[in-house]
Amino acid sequence: MKIEKVLNNNAVVAIKDEQEVIVIGRGIAFQKKTGDLISDQHVDKIFTLQNEDIQENFKALIASIPLEYMKVSEEIIAYAKLKLGKKLNESIYLHLTDHIHFAIERFRNNLPIRNGLLWETKQLYKDEYEVGLEALNMICDQFGVLLPEDEAGFMALHFVNAALNEEMPNIRSMTQVMQEILTIIKYHFKMDFDENGLNYTRFVTHLKYFAQRMVKGKHYKSNSDDELFQMIQKKYPDAHKCSVKIKKFIENNYTYQLTDEEMMYLTIHIERVVNATSE
């Protein structure tokens, strides 16, 4: 590989198979310059990012932080991909690495930030939160710094963001509305959810995509007819009453109107999760 630009002693921009890549490795660019060749034996990781904006920001980040931050971030992302079994947007390499670096700097300067969505994150994104907790262990092993639980929640949202390909403000809004809907259901039926049950997991997944559509102002459309919706209302009257409460809440607080299709599927999911809990 031929060096196109030296970022620091441990990172370069290079050309591999006529494509620009970011290459990291300890001392890989020591006494090197543009046009020099680098040996594969000194390479720890090669990054090929398709989004040009992410690529440029990633270059700037790598040039400004020690190699250890990049390595621990890459290890965490590899673990997350394995644990979650999901494809993650390449932006995770930029955003998670930047977050870890900033979090450690804040911790060392005694400037922790409280996570206002920690409880909701633990409830709604259990798998991502578990990855966040393991990430804290990896960071502690690498840097000798035990970050607070709040940071596991922050990192969990980065994984949710990368899986859904959403911006972080949207993820926060989605998490908030999901928790609000679950709270309405709990109070309507005076019950607690079986959070380990399959129906709860399915419902949370449904809410996740509903909330994603809502924050983008989009609606779900299908070929279902009024007759089917009316049948669902009659078959599950209590679940439908609850979905009407949710509809009014969403309209009043988010100026978003649920379609009949969304109401129908919401009613079905509520019925399932309530029955599973009461069994």
Band the pLDDT of 238: cuts 50, 70, 90: very high
Q: Under CATH, which architecture does the 184-195+211-278 domain have?
A: Orthogonal Bundle (1.10)
224 pLDDT band (50/70/90 cuts)?
A: low
Cβ 128 vs Cβ 171: under 8 Å: no
Question: Over pLDDT 70: what percentage of the chain?
Answer: 97
29-84 pLDDT per residue, tens = 888 888 888 877 778 888 888 888 888 998 899 889 998 999 999 999 999 999 99
CATH of 2-48, one of 3.40.50.1000, 3.90.1150.10, 3.10.20.10, 2.30.24.10: 2.30.24.10
Q: Is the dihedral of CA 219, 224, 230, 231 positive or negative?
A: negative
Q: How many CB atoms lie within 10 A of CB 225?
A: 10
3-state secondary structure 123-191: HHCHHHHHHHHHHHHHHHHHHCCCCCHHHHHHHHHHHHHHHHCCCHHHHHHHHHHHHHHHHHHHHHHCC
* Residue 199 pLDDT exceeds 70: yes
Fold agreement (2-48, 71-165): no
pLDDT given for residue 222 in this prediction: 59
Best-predicted range by mean pLDDT among 6-20, 132-146, 156-170, 220-234?
A: 132-146
State the chain's mean pLDDT as an integer.
90
CATH code that applies to domain 71-165: 1.10.1790.10
Q: State the average pLDDT over residues 157-164.
A: 94
Residue 142's pLDDT is: 95
pLDDT recorded at residue 276: 72
Q: Which of 143, 145, 150, 80 is nearest to 112 (CA)?
A: 150
pTM confidence score: 0.81
Could you tell me the two tokens for 123?
Answer: 């409830």
Q: Is the pLDDT of residue 221 over 80?
A: no
CB atoms within 10 A of CB 139: 25
- Residue 118's pLDDT is what? 93
CB 29 within 8 A of CB 6: yes
Domain coordinates in residue numbering, the chain: 2-48, 71-165, 184-195+211-278
Q: What is the pLDDT of residue 106?
A: 92
Average of per-residue pLDDT across 244-250: 97
pLDDT in tens, 78-115: 999 999 999 999 999 999 999 999 999 999 999 888 99
